[in-house]
Amino acid sequence: MTVQGRGNFLPLTTNGGRYSGEIAVRGTTAYTTTWNNSSAVASVFYVWDVSAAAPRLVDSVKVDSATTLGDIQVSDDGTLLVVATEYTNGSIVIYDLADPRKPQRITRFRNGNTTYGVHTAKVGRVNGKLYGFLCIDPVGPVKAQIVIVDLSDPANPKQVYQQAIGTPYVHDTFLRDGILFLALWNDGLAIWDVGGGALGGTPAAPKEIGRVKTANGKVHNVWWLKDPVTGNAKYAFVGEEGANNLGTFSAGDIHVVDVGDMSSPKEVAFFTTANAGTHNFSVDEANGILYAAYYNGGVRALDVRGDLSACTAAQRSSPANTTLQLCDLFKMGRELGIGLQDPGNPVLIWGVQYRNGLVYASDMINGIWKLTAIARP
């Protein structure tokens, strides 16, 4: 994968110890959060102009009462920016994007359920209405929680649902067509009807359809692929976040789950990379290519079109610590390309976003990269 350019991000030694977190891109503007900020510096998110080959930093926005900013997401209509804050006094902060380069704060939502920290916050529509799906940190005896918030009036968000769930975390969610996927760490991948299934679920009263535990647990994130070319919606991709030491090593595989029967999901394949572990995904659905952030392993591009559960005996392997025999995407020749494996300096890729033939990657220690996407063979 060809690098077009890198954003000018200040080194940690002169940047108050800030690391880059998640990334969101819309049009020619990108936003990146900062993670694990010290008490001596304010939490900020950065605004980037990505119209040229090298992204250019154009602004930073301070977020008070937060030591970490996790997720950042633009609503589907481009009008709102939602930022998750941790730890104590956890919240989501909602900004107006009338001028995408100058986000204007509308309000901050917090209550007793969010107080220990909103680790991730995804926004999406169910039957035309905008909701936020918040994953809340566990603290001591207080379990992790999923909190669902009605964002149809952005100035007055309202909680409509809350449940303690996940062991020890509920780490992320993915919403499509009224179906919500939940990454429940060692409790596996759960699938809920919140408005698009036969069980009659709603955001205020979800109904669980099915659940599966993938190899080695640590279910961190998920993407349910709906291929617009083939119509295939059979597979969900699960990221496993294994042990890691920032700057030294990371671990964790991509697990492929057959959700053709959502009441009985089943792991059928996996992808592993030696000495590196995955974090977050973005998918070029039109071309069937999944882009995975792989921390010190850069960005990996996988062909995820077609039947991923059909392979020869020679193309099967067992995930670490298991005796399962699953299709191995690497042995099947599904890896199409690698980006940022050796850009001349170490990388720690947190997040990726595919947009219109380009891939944007947030690098914890280097800022933001812009790469040319893979062309399907």
- Summarised one tens digit per residue, pLDDT across range 258-269 is 999 999 999 999
Positive or negative, the CA dihedral 337, 232, 357, 81 is negative
Which residues lie closer than 8 Å to 91 by C-beta, 6 or more apart? Answer: 65, 66, 84, 85, 108, 109, 110, 114, 118
What ranges do the domains of the chain cover?
Answer: 3-372
pLDDT of residue 247: 64
- Cβ of 153: how many Cβ atoms within 10 Å? 11
- 15 pLDDT tier (thresholds 50, 70, 90): low
Does position 212 have pLDDT exceeding 90, yes or no? yes
pLDDT of residue 70: 85
- 40 pLDDT tier (thresholds 50, 70, 90): low
Pick the more confident residue, 70 or 84.
84
State the chain's mean pLDDT as an integer. Answer: 94
- 13 pLDDT tier (thresholds 50, 70, 90): low
According to DSSP, the β-strands at 299-303 and 335-339 are: antiparallel
Does position 226 have pLDDT exceeding 80, yes or no? yes
What's the CATH class of domain 3-372? mainly beta
Does position 115 have pLDDT exceeding 90, yes or no? yes
Complete DSSP assignment for 224-290? E---TTT----EEEEEE---EETTTEE---EEEEE-SSTTS-EEEEEE--TT-----EEEETTTTEE
Does position 358 have pLDDT exceeding 70, yes or no? yes
Does position 343 have pLDDT exceeding 70, yes or no? no
> Out of 29-43, 61-75, 79-93, 108-122, which region has the weakest mean confidence (pLDDT)?
29-43
- Summarised one tens digit per residue, pLDDT across range 273-301 is 998 999 999 999 999 999 999 999 999 99
Does position 109 have pLDDT exceeding 60, yes or no? yes
Does position 57 have pLDDT exceeding 80, yes or no? yes
DSSP secondary structure letter of residue 152: S
DSSP secondary structure letter of residue 120: E
Does position 12 have pLDDT exceeding 90, yes or no? no
C-alpha to C-alpha distance for 187 and 182, rounded to whole angstroms: 10
Does position 14 have pLDDT exceeding 60, yes or no? no
- Name the pTM for this structure: 0.96
Does position 107 have pLDDT exceeding 70, yes or no? yes
pLDDT of residue 18: 80
Rounded average pLDDT over 314-324 = 96
> Out of 55-64, 199-208, 351-360, which region has the weakest mean confidence (pLDDT)?
55-64
- Summarised one tens digit per residue, pLDDT across range 140-187 is 999 999 999 999 999 999 999 999 999 999 999 999 999 999 999 999
Pick the more confident residue, 245 or 214.
214
- 365 pLDDT tier (thresholds 50, 70, 90): confident
Phi/psi region, residue 78 (left: phi>0; alpha: psi -120 to 50; beta: rest), is: left
